[in-house]
Amino acid sequence: MNINAALAASLERQETAGEEAWATTFRQMALFDLAADMELGFFLSYYRNFAIPSIAAALHTNAEIQQRPMKRSYDTAIVIYELISSGLDSERGKAMVELLNRVHRNVPGSKDDFLYVLLTLLVVPIRWIQRHAWRQPTSSELMAATRFFSELGTRMNITGMPASYAEAAVFFDRYEAANIAPSDHGQHLMDATVQVFQSRLPEPLRPLAKPLISTMLDDDRLTAALGLPRANVISRTALKTGLKLRNAITRRRPLNQQPHFTPGKAGSSLYPDGYSPDQIGPVNVPHSPARVGNELP
């Protein structure tokens, strides 16, 4: 493969990185080498949760997604990128872990539901990269990404974390085989969220948001559960051709000097002047059921 010298040098570092360097290796992968595909993968993992009826029901009941689809979607991405960029144990990272633990305290969900949502953030972007990015992830990157989400899970008190990427993928596939199904809640959430993706597309492509998401997800059972139109040969070929062209350009360009995400910086119309960590997080935070009657506290 003929690639730009700066990309080749970074690839070599990503191939030879030691296990102990997992945080740096994952940061480099997510913010530089494979940044665009990683971000797309995170988008796709977000939609996947809507195809699990119990998770969709919990999200629908809290109504944050329906009421503030833009903020919910961007804030979720910001939480993840803050953790990757600043580090799990940095001040900003700790604030994000605290946010995650606070908002989920009263969310109904099994241990497997939490593990699944966490692993969508690992498996979906990696699979997208393996199928569509300008290069394959290295085995050090697979290990680093797995370790990152395992460390995050530990900080969220999630037990039973898989020991390797392969184990994570097995859990992910088994969970989906048993749990994906259509639900009204899931389809409402998808409808509310499509506009976020639409807003990032060039104007002429906006009406194609749903078929495009469906083609990127490329899984008929999943897209049926989300109420999306089925991908077809034309949409698949168009996506493949577009990505091939993009990859050919990416391989010839030098590595970006600026990271894909900078903590606190303006990155969207939602926070045009930047943001501080305390602006991030849902307005509706699930509460434990209200007490009724005269019972003692």
Question: Using CB under 6 A as the criterion, which residues of the chain lie in contact with ligand HEM when the complex forms?
Answer: 55, 58-59, 62, 64-65, 72, 75-76, 79, 100, 103-104, 107, 109, 113-114, 117-118, 156, 158, 280-282, 284, 286
Cβ neighbour number for residue 252 with a 10 Å cutoff: 12
**Residue closer to ligand HEM, measured from CB, 163 or 283:** 283
Query: What's the CA gap between 257 and 40, in Å, rounded?
Result: 20
Report the alpha-carbon distance of residue 212 to residue 35 in Å, rounded.
20
Of the candidates 76, 79, 80, the residue with the CA atom closest to the CA atom of residue 122: 80
Nearest residue (CB) to ligand HEM, 110 versus 164: 110
Q: How far is the CB of 211 from ligand HEM (least distance, A)?
A: 26
Nearer Cβ to ligand HEM, position 40 or 79?
A: 79
Please, which residue, 66 or 247, has the CB nearer to ligand HEM? 66
| Residue pair 97/282 in contact by the 8 Å Cβ criterion | no
Smallest distance from ligand HEM to CB 109, Å? 3
Q: What is the maximum alpha-carbon separation in the chain?
A: 74
Using CB atoms within 10 A of its CB, is residue 134 exposed (0-12), middle (13-18) or buried (19+)?
buried
| Positive or negative torsion for Cα 14, 240, 213, 275 | positive
Least distance in angstroms from the C-beta of 256 to ligand HEM: 25
Least distance (Å) between residue 165 CB and ligand HEM: 17
Q: Least distance from C-beta 248 to ligand HEM, angstroms?
A: 34
CA–CA dist 217, 209 (Å, integer): 12
Using DSSP's 3-state secondary structure scheme, residue 137 falls into coil
In the complex with ligand HEM, the residue whose CB is nearer, 259 or 286, is 286
Nearer to ligand HEM, 117 or 212 (CB): 117
* Least Cβ distance, residue 297 to ligand HEM (angstroms): 25
Question: For the chain, what's the residue count?
Answer: 297
